[in-house]
Structure 1
Amino acid sequence: MFLLYEYDIFWAFLIISSLIPILVFFISGFLAPSSKGPEKLSSYESGIEPIGDAWLQFRIRYYMFALVFVVFDVETVFLYPWAMSFDVLGVSVFVEALIFVLILIVEKTEKIEIVMNSIEFPLFHRTTQNSVISTTLNDLSNWSRLSSLWPLLYGTSCCFIEFASLIGSRFDFDRYGLVPRSSPRQADLILTAGTVTMKMAPSLVRLYEQMPEPKYVIAMGACTITGGMFSTDSYSTVRGVDKLIPVDVYLPGCPPKPEAIIDAITKLRKKISREIYPDRIMSQRENRCFTTNHKFQVGHSIHTGNYDQGFLYQPPSTSEIPPETFFKYKSSVSSHELVN
C-alpha cells in the first residue's frame, strides 16, 4: 500500500482545496440560472431605499468585541493582532489572546485516545440485480433544490407568528433542509405571511428581485391571498400578492397552523421535484405580472370586490389606462382611494 509522506499530504490538501472552489465557480457559471436586473446590484437588502445619512455610524471596532470576546474559534487568533491596534482594546485583547493560546496548548497536550471503528462492511458474494439507477441532470438539480430551501424571513402581520413557531424544537423544520435567512441574496423561498399593503408592495417586489434563481413563493394566509377581511373597503391593501409576484403554493387560513405550513412546504417540494426549470423561466417571462416601477392609479372606492380589468396592473408594454375607466363606476363616496 502506497503511503504519502507528511508534506505530500499537505500539498495534496492544498491542491484539492484550491481546485474545488475553482471547479464550483465554473460549474455554477454553466448550470446556475441567471436573472440579471437593476435590483441585483443595489446595496441595500431591506427593501427600503435609505434616506439621508445615518445619525450614528458603527466603526469596525464595534464588531471586534463580538469577534474577539464572544467567538471562540481557532480562526480568531488571526484577529488578535488587528484588535490590538485599537487603543481601547489593546490591553484586554492581549490578555484574551494569552488565555486563548493557553487553552489551545493545554488541550493539545492532553492524551487523545484513538477510537478504532470495528464495524466491517458486509461482503456481497453475488451481484445485486438492478443496481444501476438512471437519472438526468434535471432530476439531480431538482433534488438539490428541494432538499435545501432557505426561506426569507418576511412577515407583515400575525401569520408570521405561526411560521416562527416552526423554528422551535416542536416542529423542527430543519429536518426539511430549511434554514431561515435574513438576506434575500441567500434565500430561494419567501413566505409572504400577513397583509401586504400598497406601501409595502414595492419593498416586497424589490426583495423578490434580489433573490437568486430559482426562487419560490408561498402565499400564507387569507390576507395575503385575497386581502382577507380588508378586501372589501380597505384603501391600502393589495388584493392578492399574486398581482405583484408569481405564487407557487397558496396556503389559506386565518392564520394557518404550523402543520399546514409544513404541508405547504411538502407540496412545494413535490412541485420542485417534477418541474423543468427552462419551462418555468419561459412561463415567468410570458406571464410576468410585476415590475419594480409600480404605478398605482387613483380611482373611486369600490365595495363589491370585483375589479374591472383597467384597475389591475398592466405590463409596461401596454398603454396607460384611459381616464374613462375611472369614471365607469359611480360611487356615493366622494373621497378618492387607491385601489389595486
Structure 2
Amino acid sequence: MDDFTINSNRLIRSTSMFLLYEYDFFWAFLIVSSVIPILAFLISGVLAPISKGPEKLSSYESGIEPIGDAWLQFRIRYYMFALVFVVFDVETVFLYPWAMSFDVLGVSVFIEALIFVLILISSNNKKKITKIETVMNSIIEFPLLDRTTQNSVISTTSSDLSNWSRLSSLWPLLYGTSCCFIEFASLIGSRFDFDRYGLVPRSSPRQADLILTAGTVTMKMAPSLVRLYEQMPEPKYVIAMGACTITGGCSVPILILIPVDVYLPGCPPKPEAVIDAITKLRKKISREIYEDRIRSQQENRCFTTSHKFRVGCSTHTGNYDQELLYQPPSTSEIPPEIFFKYKSSVASHELVN
C-alpha cells in the first residue's frame, strides 16, 4: 500500500472522527428531525382512534368552507410543533410550514419544513443543545400515571409523549361574544405574548384543540357553540372565561351545553388570569391518560346536537303579550270534584307538616 493511500485513509478517518465528535449535536438532531416525522405518520392511527362523526362532516365552520380532513385526530404537527418550539425557542409564525395536515399541503411543503429544521439546527450552538433536556423538564412536571414501562429501557410512555406534544401546541378557537374577549385579545400583543405557550389562534374548529368561550352564551348562540365544539377533533378542551359564561347570568351557563375543563371567573378576567388558566390546563393535560379521557367523554356527555331548542314568541312588541303571561285558572272553571279533591289534599299535607 503506497503512502498516498495511507494518507488518504488517515485523512478520511480523522475527518469522520472530527465530524462525529465535534458535530454530534448536528447528527443527533438530523436523526431526530427525520425519525420523528416518520414515526408520527406510522403511529398516528395508534395514538388516537379515528372518529367520523356527522357533525365533523358538516360544512358549517363560522362562515368558511371546510379545510382538510374533519376526522383527522392526531396529526404530525403535534410532534414537530412541540419539538422545534421547545428546542429552538422560535416564534409560532415560523412553524406554519409543518403546522398543517400532511395530506393537505403535500410532500413539497413537508420537504421545505425539513430544510427549515436543518437551517435551525446548523445555526444553533452546542451550548444551547446541551441544555435541551433541562429546558424540556423545566417546562412542566410530568407525573407518570401510566406505569406500564417500569422494567423497560424506555423511561416514558406513549401517553406522556402525546400529552407533552398537545400541551406544547394548543391551538385555540376564539369564541368571543361579549366584553370578556377584549381582555383575551390583549394576549395576542407583544406585552403578554401568548405565542410562548404554543398558542396559534384558528378560525376553523377542524384545526383547533381548545375553545375559549368569552362572554354571554344566549339561546340563539347555543346551537352554534355546540356545533363548533362537535366539529373540533379529539382531544379537545374548553376554558370558560368570565362570570357570564360560567354562571349563565340571564342566559345559558356553558356547563349544560359542553363539558368544561378550566373555569376562569372574573368580570372580566385580566390577561394574567387567562395565562394562569392556560397554565393549569397544560398541567391537567400532562397528567391525563388519553384513553381514560375518551371513555369519560363517551359516558358523561353533557349535550348533543340532537337536542331541539324551543323557540318562543318575541316579547318586543311595545305592548304586553297576554298570551305569555301566566293566568291561573279561576275556581269557577275547575270541576267541583277536582277542586274539592285538591283542596282536601292540600289541607292534609299542611296538617302533616
Q: TM-score range by the shorter chain?
A: 0.5 to 0.7
SS in 2 for 1:108: helix
SS in 1 for 2:38: helix
1:1-340 superposed matches below 5 A: 23-46=39-62, 134-228=155-249, 241-297=254-310
Indicate conservation of the 8 Å contact 2:261/2:281, yes or no: yes
CA distance in 2, matches of 1:28, 1:53: 14
Indicate conservation of the 8 Å contact 1:196/1:224, yes or no: yes
CA distance in 1, matches of 2:306, 2:145: 64
State, as a whole percentage, how many aligned pairs show the same letter: 91
Q: Deviations over 1:284-332 (max 9, x none)?
A: 1111011112322479999999999999999999999999999999999
Indicate conservation of the 8 Å contact 1:217/1:246, yes or no: yes
1:36 CA drift (Å): 2.3
CA spacing shift, 1:218–1:64, aligned 2, 3 Å: closer
CA distance in 1, matches of 2:36, 2:332: 51
CA distance in 1, matches of 2:160, 2:333: 43
CA spacing shift, 1:294–1:13, aligned 2, 3 Å: same
CA distance in 1, matches of 2:143, 2:101: 59
More divergent stretch after superposition (219-228 vs 57-66): 57-66
Indicate conservation of the 8 Å contact 2:180/2:215, yes or no: yes
Indicate conservation of the 8 Å contact 1:189/1:216, yes or no: yes
Indicate conservation of the 8 Å contact 1:220/1:250, yes or no: yes
1:264 CA drift (Å): 0.6
CA distance in 2, matches of 1:102, 1:64: 13
1:206 CA drift (Å): 1.0
CA spacing shift, 1:80–1:157, aligned 2, 3 Å: closer
CA distance in 2, matches of 1:200, 1:283: 26
CA spacing shift, 1:55–1:197, aligned 2, 3 Å: same
1:110 CA drift (Å): 34
1:53 CA drift (Å): 24
CA spacing shift, 1:337–1:206, aligned 2, 3 Å: farther
CA spacing shift, 1:89–1:292, aligned 2, 3 Å: closer
Which ranges of 4 or more aligned residues in structure 1 deviate by more than 2 Å?
1-26, 32-36, 47-105, 107-133, 296-340
SS in 1 for 2:150: coil
1:226 CA drift (Å): 1.1
RMSD: 14.4
CA spacing shift, 1:307–1:323, aligned 2, 3 Å: farther
1:135 CA drift (Å): 1.6
Bigger helix share: 2
SS in 1 for 2:20: coil
SS in 1 for 2:263: strand
Over alpha carbons, which structure has the higher Rg? 2
CA distance in 2, matches of 1:123, 1:301: 55
Count of residue pairs brought into register by the alignment: 327
Q: Deviations over 1:255-302 (max 9, x none)?
A: 111011011111111111111111111111111011112322479999
Indicate conservation of the 8 Å contact 1:80/1:94, yes or no: no
CA spacing shift, 1:209–1:121, aligned 2, 3 Å: closer
* TM-score normalised by the chain length of structure 2: 0.53
More divergent stretch after superposition (325-334 vs 152-161): 325-334
CA distance in 2, matches of 1:47, 1:334: 60
SS in 1 for 2:312: strand
Indicate conservation of the 8 Å contact 1:148/1:177, yes or no: yes
1:26 CA drift (Å): 2.9
Indicate conservation of the 8 Å contact 1:194/1:223, yes or no: yes
CA distance in 2, matches of 1:50, 1:337: 62
SS in 2 for 1:330: helix
1:39 CA drift (Å): 1.4
Indicate conservation of the 8 Å contact 1:68/1:80, yes or no: no
